[in-house]
Amino acid sequence: MKWTDFFIPTTKEVPADAVVPSHQLMIRAGMIRQITAGSYAYLPLGFRVMQKITLIVREEMDRAGAVELGMPALHPVELWEETGRVDAMGETLIHLPDKSFRKGTVLGPTHEEVITDIARAYLHSYKQLPINFYQIQTKFRDEARPKSGVLRTREFLMKDAYSFDIDQEGLDASYDKMFAAYCRIYQRSGLPYFAVQAESGAMGGSDSTEFMVISDAGEDILVRTEDGAYCANLEKAEPAPLPEPGCDQQQALEEVHTPGNTTIEQVSSLLGCRPADMIKTIIFQDDDKPLVALVRGDHTVNEAKLARAAGVSSVEAATPSQISQWTSADVGFAGPVGLDARVIADQAVTVMHNAVTGANKTDYHFKGVNAGRDFEIKESADIRYAEEGDRATTGQALIFEKCMEVGHVFKLGTKYTAAMKANVLDQNGKARPMIMGCYGIGLNRIMAAAIEASHDDGGIIWPISIAPFSVLIVALDVRDENVMAVAQDLHDTLSESGLDVLLDDRNERPGFKFKDADLIGVPIRVTVGKRGLADGIVEVKQRRNEQVNKVAPDQAAKAVRDLVEQERGLPAS
């Protein structure tokens, strides 16, 4: 492919809202163009990368035994009503105006409902299972804040797969296959990733793994040990229990006047204690009954962990009037002493001594509060978020890093099949809902994550597997016939051996062309110029390092192929 026949509108102009490197570089390299907020056109260079990623994903899905199909983006809203997800999706679900279609229609943000509708139409016996359907298709989500270029958009390409099994063992096997396929996809795409235990919703039981790439552009937090032996997302991360500090003498319980001081900060500064010396009492409601969480004043309650500890599907904050009624005090003065409610204390609270906490009396707190003497801890669990300074249960320090989710595998169970009555007959002729898993991977995010993970000041450094071209031949002196003949010959030879080659035949200054070469990040560059040819050489260089290899023109193809092998991580032939 000749540059002048192709279309790469590189530019220095970067919009002010492009702050993350992948967004800036994709625009500068002429790969994408924003059409409206959260919706991008993929220009030819960007499109080629998407195609390469798509191919890898498709190959690995096929290898794992999944079968590809195509589902529509237009969904009848009734399918979403069957599973109750119209509400659950909220604003994210894009509804088309009623008048466009006879019945309500939405744009698919994901396809559990549609695939389950297909499954219930065709799958009737355990003998047809297991089966894993996948598609590579555009999703629509009205994200509240589309941002960071193609990392979070309203329209994006996802590979989504859905497995159907007759029993839990079947699901486990389907899930393991997808897990392995995902690892291969990221490895092949050259992405340094972490497979992270994720929160799978309350009640627990089912596995869920998020695949994360470390990046400042990410919106999630990865919590891990230095050696990576432990990693979890922040929602799920479990800090080791805090050690018993060894008690100074137990102080007497003392009521102190704290008028108008309702926050941890206010009370700790008024009483001259640290937030860590306070017990934070947070009141939730469970079916109009109080459910009270106790965490250390400097810790944050994790509602998903609390719900799991309480054995409920989710927790809901109590209203101010409920709080006043249950604590006999205004909001801001609750505490565990004398409180008649179900209380779950965080593990860190169980090792506190002489704590400060609300007195269940407006404008009063207690000092010298000790569990066991002043109130009883009947239930304790890990119900807080891990924090800097926490350790893993192995004793290693926990590290917190920003990351982005590039994929997710999830054991769904019978949530959708039960709601939509997608039953099959089991070995005993009994109808039961199929057991589902779902597996999603964001293709655009893989592209952006690869750039986030691999770039320098000059531009992108593509992993060769997803690079738009593997080789860039930069012809200097394009009006020199000999230069163009050598460049074209090399282009043809390499192309014939199956490599995708771009030939920069633009009549521009060398510096300008080298800048563009670095920007678009093609892994291997060959420079053919008049002066070099006079000396009997062309220059071969990898984008990822500065080293320039000078080789005779007739050795260039071999030199390039060796570097391609090296870039592919295989031993050079």
The site for ligand ATP (CB under 6 A) is made up of 110, 141, 143, 152-153, 156, 158, 405-408, 440-442, 444-445
* Cβ closest to ligand ATP, residue 143 vs residue 508: 143
Q: Which is nearer to ligand ATP, 28 or 141 (CB)?
A: 141
Among residues 67, 62, 54, the alpha carbon closest in space to that of 164 is found at 67
Closest distance of CB 188 from ligand ATP, Å: 16
The C-alpha atoms of residue 143 and residue 93 are separated, in whole angstroms, by: 9
- What angle, 0 to 180 degrees and rounded to 10, lies between the N-to-C axes of helices 21-28 and 443-453? 100
Six-digit token string for 568: 């592919």
117/155 with CB nearer ligand ATP: 155
HSE on the CB side for 111, CA within 13 Å?
26
CB of 408 to ligand ATP, least distance (A): 4
Closer to ligand ATP by Cβ: residue 296 or 445:
445
Quote the CA–CA distance of 212 and 217 in Å, as a whole number. 12
CA 502 from centre of chain: 33
Closer of 89 and 484 to ligand ATP (Cβ): 89
- Point out which residues pair with 282 in neighbouring strands: 293
The separation between CA 123 and the C-alpha centre of its own chain, rounded to angstroms, equals 32
> Which CB sits closer to ligand ATP, 126 or 156?
156
Q: How far is the CB of 436 from ligand ATP (least distance, A)?
A: 14
Least Cβ distance, residue 89 to ligand ATP (angstroms): 11
The distance of closest approach from Cβ of residue 438 to ligand ATP in the complex, given in angstroms and rounded to an integer, is 8
> Which of 417, 444 has the CB closer to ligand ATP?
444
d(CA 332, CA 342): 19
Residue with smaller CB distance to ligand ATP, 383 or 406 = 406
Which neighbouring-strand residues pair with 316?
Answer: 285
Strands 342-346 and 289-296: parallel
Helix (H) or strand (E) holding 557: helix 556-567
The b/e string for 109-140 (b: 16+ C-beta within 10 A; e otherwise) is bbbbbbbbbbbbeebeebeebbbbbbbbbebb
Which of 141/224 has CB closer to ligand ATP?
A: 141
In whole angstroms, the minimum distance from the beta carbon of 220 to ligand ATP comes to: 7
CB of 443 to ligand ATP, least distance (A): 8
Choose between 442 and 532: whose C-beta lies nearer to ligand ATP: 442
Residues 6+ apart with CB under 8 A from 538: 486, 490, 526, 527, 528, 529, 532, 550, 551, 552, 553, 556
Q: Is the torsion defined by CA of 563, 565, 571, 573 positive or negative?
A: negative
Collapsing DSSP to helix, strand or coil, 539 comes out as strand
Q: How far is the CB of 421 from ligand ATP (least distance, A)?
A: 24
Q: For ligand ATP, which residue has the nearest CB? A: 442
- CA distances (Å), 300 to each of 199, 293, 513, in order? 17, 10, 53
Nearer to ligand ATP, 220 or 286 (CB): 220
Q: Indicate the residue among 330 and 401 with the shorter CB distance to ligand ATP.
A: 401
CA distance readout (Å), 215 to 11, 219, 233, 442: 25, 9, 14, 16
* Smallest gap from residue 402 Cβ to ligand ATP (A): 13
**In whole angstroms, how close is the CB of 186 to ligand ATP at the nearest point?**
11
How far, in Å, CA of 73 to CA of 374, rounded?
60
Residue 536 CB, shortest distance to ligand ATP, in Å, is: 50
Q: Which residues contact 402 (CB under 8 A, 6 or more apart)?
A: 214, 215, 216, 217, 218, 219, 220, 221, 222
CB of 220 or CB of 565, closer to ligand ATP? 220
Q: Quick check: 378 and 341 in contact, CB under 8 A?
A: no
CB 458 to ligand ATP: min, Å: 27
What one-character DSSP code corresponds to residue 166?
Answer: S
State the Cα–Cα distance between residues 502 and 505, nearest whole angstrom.
Answer: 9
CA 68 to each of CA 38, 131, 135, 164, 185: distance values in angstroms, whole numbers, following the listed order: 27, 11, 5, 14, 16
Could you tell me how many residues make up the chain?
573
Nearer to ligand ATP by Cβ, of 55 and 221: the residue is: 221
Number of C-alpha atoms within 13 angstroms, CB side, residue 471?
A: 32
Q: At what angle do helices 481-496 and 556-567 cross, to 10 degrees?
A: 50
